[in-house]
Amino acid sequence: MASKWIESLTGSLEQKKQYKQDKARINALPEPYGSAAKAMHRYLLYFGGVTDGESIITMLTDLADLWERASIDGTPLHEIVGDDPVEFSETFAQAYSSKQWIDKERSRLTKAIEDAEREEQK
């Protein structure tokens, strides 16, 4: 019972455990894959804007999988991220987009404009 109460305040303990495991996998990568994965991990947390914990965990697990596989196969970094690592990272994040922080404001803006248009037509 106590764990349910704690999770209601702090979020899923299982997700936190998975996050730490994925972060450890990234930290264990050999260079240059480790540096690339850490940079992308940091960027995704800033850029992603994903509010759903499950989506974030899935994205970061897949990120660790991607870089581990590349490391094992010896895939050159450029073959993974291409000419634009920002574009690659943002496209990667879009695959996991569920509800984002900005969605609430987008809805609020749309509703405000619609309300203003209705007032204008009166």
User: Whole-prediction pTM value?
Assistant: 0.72
How confident is the model over 16-35, as pLDDT tens digits?
899 999 999 999 999 999 99
**Region of residue 76 (left: phi > 0; alpha: psi -120 to 50; beta: else):** beta
- C-alpha distances in Å from residue 19, one per residue of 26, 41, 44, 110, 116: 11, 11, 14, 35, 44
pLDDT digits (tens, 9 = 90+) for 60-102: 999 999 999 999 999 999 999 999 999 999 899 888 876 666 7
What confidence score (pLDDT) does residue 98 get? 65
